[in-house]
Structure 1
Amino acid sequence: MVPSRDAELPHLAADEPVFTRSAAAFLRRLAEDNTREFFTAHRDEYDQAIRVPLEALLAHAEERWGTGRVMRPNRDVRFSTDKSPYRLSASMWAGGGAGGVYLQLGRSGLEVGGGLYEPSRDQLARGRAVIARGGPAADALREAVDALVEAGFELAGPPLATAPRGYPRDHPQIDLLRLTRYAALRHRKASATLAEIDATWDAVAPLCDWVDRHVGPATDRR
């Protein structure tokens, strides 16, 4: 059972790293011995180096971005040929609307960003309809995406190879119409401070706002 985070979370100082070197080191060791025996024997190390700071970061993020969660370390192996029981990364997200912010700790560093990562069919349909109409709403997405790319972010997920069904290939907003996710990520060092993480989340705020305003929550999860 995962312990409650109430009254156990450390204070995160803005000018200090959220994670110590032992966090990425644990994930590298887990990659070499991804077994329940190893994880159980080193559960305290995982809790101290990864779970507790990640829970503290989530509590910090929820103050601005809304309710979220820390992803479980266990993999769902029911339909996978890879039966490794544990993820080789640790992640969290927070968001009170359709959009939200995200952080993933991996063996080589952090991925930090936000937006809408797994849009449903109806969300994509609404987003594309807004883009196709043009005007201020489409311009707002263009400005948000261009600013993020210029700042060194990567747009999440590969775009469609061609125009989505029902839209012409020569549409003036074809690059935005081909997006399959309305989200962006930036790579950070594992030693990134809370202030650096917050600044990265601040940068994706216009994209999150656009998703909340023009896409909205999912109604179709097929």
Structure 2
Amino acid sequence: MESQTLHFLSQLAENNNRDWFQEHRKDYDAAKADMESLVGYLIQQIGKFQDLGNLQVKECLLRINRDIRFSKNKAPYKNNLSAGIGPGGKSSGKIDYYIQIQPHDQTFLGGGMWETTSEQIARYRQEIDYNADELKTIIEQKEFRDFFPEISGESLKTMPKGYPKDHPEIELLKRKQLFFMHRFTDKEVASKDFGEKVLKGVRILKPFTDYMNYILYEQHTEQ
């Protein structure tokens, strides 16, 4: 990524209004092109070890405009550039590789269970109750833990209904969201091999996203 992209996003965070944005439209267009280049590279490389179909860059990029209809924060723009890369793109509804470019060392690659339905959470818990070892084998592997030390998302304060309080997998069962993140410094983002670093993370994350997509979506459709 170009350092100018991070600079633009940093400036946008301080001047988050439509007038400023229009005055700096060329800077935004350059930043967007920079993001498109990164996503294009990732699609090409990920396609070598995962079937992405005929995925296009535009199918992955998220809009920079914020939906402010129901938000107290009326800032019209996000202070980041982001994309969801996976079969079907950002609108597939499935778990993908999410990359967010944000200055001040807030850039991250992540993936996991986030905006899930109550039915999907029930499927997840049923699978954990039945066989937690399959998931634990993936997320407790040293390479995975070293690259994805951050676990984000909400958990229940008490044990979900239908499961004993002394269940050996109590912490996993209480999860409403299970999202893993790896943060990159601004220096890493601006480095020439940033795309390769993100790709390394995608390879490590893939077994987890494959597992979650199977239990939340594919397993259900097979039945």
Q: Retained in 2: the 8 A contact 1:75–1:85?
A: yes
Q: What is residue 3 of structure 1 aligned with on the other side?
A: none
Q: Which of residues 42, 53, 66 is equivalent to 1:75? A: 66
Structure 2 Cα separation of the partners of residues 39 and 72 of structure 1:
14
Q: Retained in 1: the 8 A contact 2:5–2:34?
A: no
Q: CA deviation at 1:86?
A: 0.6
- 1:174 maps onto 2:175 in alignment: no
Structure 1 Cα separation of the partners of residues 172 and 146 of structure 2:
16
- 1:92 maps onto 2:92 in alignment: no
Larger mean CA deviation between 68-77 and 52-61 belongs to: 52-61
Evaluate the alpha carbon distance shift between residue 116 and residue 94 of structure 1 in structure 2; reply closer, same or farther with a 3 A threshold.
farther
Q: Retained in 1: the 8 A contact 2:159–2:165?
A: yes
TM-score where L is the length of structure 1 = 0.80
Q: CA deviation at 1:150?
A: 4.0
Q: CA deviation at 1:24?
A: 1.6
Which protein is richer in helix relative to its size? 2
Q: Which of residues 125, 129, 132 is equivalent to 1:132? A: 129
Structure 2 Cα separation of the partners of residues 53 and 84 of structure 1:
23
Q: What is residue 209 of structure 1 aligned with on the other side?
A: 210
Structure number with the bigger relative contact order (C-alpha 8 A, sep ≥ 6) is 1
Q: Which of residues 25, 34, 39 is equivalent to 1:53? A: 34
Q: What is residue 184 of structure 2 aligned with on the other side?
A: 188
Q: Retained in 2: the 8 A contact 1:115–1:204?
A: no
Q: Retained in 2: the 8 A contact 1:95–1:101?
A: yes
Deviations 1:35-84 (A, max 9, x none): 101111111111212x1122223233334363452111111111112111
Structure 1 Cα separation of the partners of residues 122 and 4 of structure 2:
43
**How many corresponding residue pairs?**
197
Q: What is residue 119 of structure 1 aligned with on the other side?
A: 116
Q: What is residue 200 of structure 1 aligned with on the other side?
A: 201
RMSD of aligned alpha carbons: 2.1
Q: What is residue 22 of structure 1 aligned with on the other side?
A: 4
Q: Retained in 2: the 8 A contact 1:183–1:207?
A: no
TM-score where L is the length of structure 2 = 0.80
Q: Structure 2: which 5+ runs fail to align?
A: none
Give me the identity figure in percent. Answer: 29
Q: Secondary structure of 1:140's partner? A: helix
Task: Specify the code of the residue in structure 1 equivalent to 2:66.
Answer: R
